[in-house]
Amino acid sequence: MSIMLKTHHLSHRHDRRLCLDHISVAFRPGQLCVIGGPNGSGKSTLIRLLSGELRPSSGRISLDGMDLRHWQPLRLARRRAVLSQQVPNQPAWPVHQVVALGRSPYTDEDTAYGQQAIAAALDQVGLSDQHQAIYSRLSGGQRARVQFARSLCQLHEQSTDALCLLDEPTASLDPRWQHQTMQCLKDCAARGWTVICVLHDLNLASRYADRLLILHDGDVALDGAPEQVLDDPRIDRIYQLNFARLRHDGHRYLHAVA
């Protein structure tokens, strides 16, 4: 399968402090790649660089072989969606209007497809019956689901080469919606999309990811199939925890024991 998104010796400094150090990784279409790692290891910085929100201090990122900086913004917005870590405090709009922000790169909000995309995204996050509810009055987890719906409807359902970048999409969700969200991302990857998702929950990663990449001190410490990564004793050192390793239903699960 061809490589779509690639970093080339990517480094980034925040206020002169090196946060990512010469990272060269390639992300394949059709894969759900989870990025893990301790707090401050550079995960959000990497997502923000991959989205084009931040410019690398050195090195570059290519999408379909072309430097990300050279992508025309509207073309990029139709190709990739980003869900950032901070859930925005949008004004007192109805939920469907917040989700419709995902259709901004298009001119079809009022067309049948635009309306259908918004309705399908709301259905995907279980909020169809709340489409008229006022966003600012929803709970934190419900708002996170609305934002997930917004990013889903930004990408055409029939697309086979979309790119989806998500920073901790499950952080405020209850267990059911954590699993629903990960299953939805897995389904997106099955359509050929490149899905890159930051998660702290290694067990969710184990259950759903095709690939697990662990950042540590701004570097790629481990990268591979989830089971292979989770079985690596370096995981315990990176998180400074002792993990018991369990197996259930063909997946590896970690349980912190000290």
- Give me the residues that bind ligand ATP (CB under 6 A), please: 14-15, 19, 37, 39-45
How far apart are CB 253 and ligand ATP at their closest, in Å?
Answer: 21
β-strand partners of 81: 164
- b/e map 198-224, b = 16+ CB within 10 Å: bbebbbbbbbbbebbbbbbebebbbee
Q: Quick one: 54 or 225, whose CB is closer to ligand ATP?
A: 54
Rounded least distance, CB 38 to ligand ATP, Å: 7
**Of 50 and 182, which CB lies nearer to ligand ATP in the complex structure?**
50
Which tokens hold the place of 19?
């946060």
Cβ count near 240 (within 10 Å): 7
Q: Residue 86 or 132: which CB sits closer to ligand ATP? A: 86
Quote the least distance from Cβ 25 to ligand ATP, whole Å.
Answer: 15
State the sign of the Cα–Cα–Cα–Cα dihedral 122, 63, 204, 185: positive
Q: How far is CA 198 from CA 32, 45, 219, in A?
A: 11, 11, 15
- 53 vs 187, beta carbon nearer ligand ATP: 53
Shortest separation between residue 19's beta carbon and ligand ATP, angstroms: 4
